[in-house]
Amino acid sequence: MSEAQADSAQNGSTPVDLLDKFAAIDAARAEMASHGEDPTRVVLDGLISPTEARSQGRRLLLAGTNNYLGLTFHPDCVAAGQDALARFGTGTTGSRMANGNYTGHEALERAFAEFYDLPHAMLFSTGYAANLGVLNALVGPDDAVLLDADAHASLYDGCKLAGVPVYRFKHNDPASLDKRLKRLGDRARRALVVVEGLYSILGDSAPLAEIAQIKAQHGAYLFVDEAHSLGIYGAHGRGVVESAGIENQVDFVVGTFSKSLGATGGYCVSPHAITDLLRYASRPYIFTASLCPSVVATVHAALDVIRADDSHRKSLWRNARALYEGLAAAGFALGPECSPVVAVRHPDRGAVIQAWQALLGAGVYVNLIVPPASPDGGSLLRLSVSAAHTPAQIDELLQAFETHCQALRPAR
């Protein structure tokens, strides 16, 4: 960094150079790494199982992977991926709209439509692209998006790409949504309410029954991102839309393959026939290469596993309850409800960074979340539970928090 850059970063003056703005990022990164490793650059050299890895010669217990159902090494998924790799090659080298539309993509779309019992489904190359792609095609400057204040960055980015006016409502607050829809008057019929099923940082679920009722009263549309709830909520694993009983009231369900399905990619399902037309208006769908055939095959196999066998979901919830209840009993301040995402919260960023480093030193990997990524200005350690965690590994996590995270316990 140049002297001028350092000066302007220190005294907060307007940057004069194109690269000046990176000084603040550099300082934040240095703070996170100040007590040991850079939390954004942990390298996994090899995977022992879905819940254990080798990193720099030591074994790490993984509790921040979003590998909720532990399917990344499921024999059916691995075999399906290997077979597709051998038969279709390493990649499609093109967009779905051109040379990148293989039989596997079409079959996976049909499988998703069938799984949700909805007529229309569409794949995207990531979950991020699914949110950008659906919003980009569906809404524009003359429409309106009512967005939960804690929504994921991809939902904000999708609105930016669409150029749609955004009205934020208070997180998980149906009354706040109602107020904003009322203010829109007749424009409410051109409004899309955008929420998540399970929020990814604090692990709290959306009150979807109330939200669906309010959107219907105003003639608006409802979009639910089920990135963290697919395969986890609902009797069939169809997410919070299923557990909240609103499957016939939702307009667009969007999700990702990068969590419970253990791969990469995204999807949208919908009862609306225009879903097929989104393909022609969605830049993140048109202008990027389609999913690799091997990825499509592993996702299809993982979806078949979810449909045929609920034992993974049951193990996941057993583990989630044990971890959430164990940490609550130990006195940590957690998110508002038990879910596979467990947030250990503390207002002091430095203390949370130190605790993260201490856990890593003891061979335990969790996610470090600091502002602006945290919803309330505080910091937190985010754990995601997997069906593949053994009861002994859950005990190991509880013990590690007991030993290394005393400073995160609120004063009694």
- Interface residues with ligand PMP (CB under 6 A)? 126-128, 131, 152, 154, 196, 200, 225, 227, 256, 258, 266
Least distance in angstroms from the C-beta of 200 to ligand PMP: 4
Least distance in angstroms from the C-beta of 129 to ligand PMP: 7
Closer of 8 and 298 to ligand PMP (Cβ): 298
Closer of 200 and 374 to ligand PMP (Cβ): 200
Q: With helix as H, strand as E and coil as C, how does 197-237 read?
A: CECCCCCCECCHHHHHHHHHHHCCEEEEECCCCCCCCCCCC
CA 245 – CA 383 distance, rounded (Å): 28
CA dihedral 344, 350, 354, 355 (to 10 degrees): -10
Tally Cβ neighbours within 10 Å of residue 268. Answer: 27
Least distance in angstroms from the C-beta of 340 to ligand PMP: 13
In 3-state terms, what secondary structure has residue 71?
coil
The identity of residue 143, as a single letter, is D
Closer of 127 and 203 to ligand PMP (Cβ): 127
The identity of residue 339, as a single letter, is S
Least distance in angstroms from the C-beta of 214 to ligand PMP: 21
Closer of 301 and 408 to ligand PMP (Cβ): 301
107 beta partners:
none
Closer of 152 and 389 to ligand PMP (Cβ): 152
Closer of 196 and 251 to ligand PMP (Cβ): 196
Non-local CB neighbours of 279 within 8 Å, separated by 6+ positions: 96, 97, 122, 285, 286
For residue 214, report the phi and psi dihedrals to the nearest 5 degrees.
-70, -45
Q: Sign (positive/negative) of CA torsion 258, 261, 262, 266?
A: negative
Counting beta carbons within 10 angstroms of the beta carbon of residue 57, is it exposed (0 to 12), middle (13 to 18) or buried (19 or more)? exposed
> First and final CA of the chain: distance in angstroms?
45
CA 238 – CA 208 distance, rounded (Å): 14
Least distance in angstroms from the C-beta of 331 to ligand PMP: 28
Least distance in angstroms from the C-beta of 131 to ligand PMP: 6
Closer of 128 and 332 to ligand PMP (Cβ): 128
Tally of CA atoms within 13 A in the half-sphere of 178 that contains its CB: 9
Least distance in angstroms from the C-beta of 395 to ligand PMP: 28
Residue number closest to ligand PMP, CB atom? 127
Closer of 115 and 128 to ligand PMP (Cβ): 128
CA 136 – CA 131 distance, rounded (Å): 8
Closer of 77 and 408 to ligand PMP (Cβ): 77
Least distance in angstroms from the C-beta of 225 to ligand PMP: 5
Non-local CB neighbours of 161 within 8 Å, separated by 6+ positions: 132, 135, 136, 283, 284
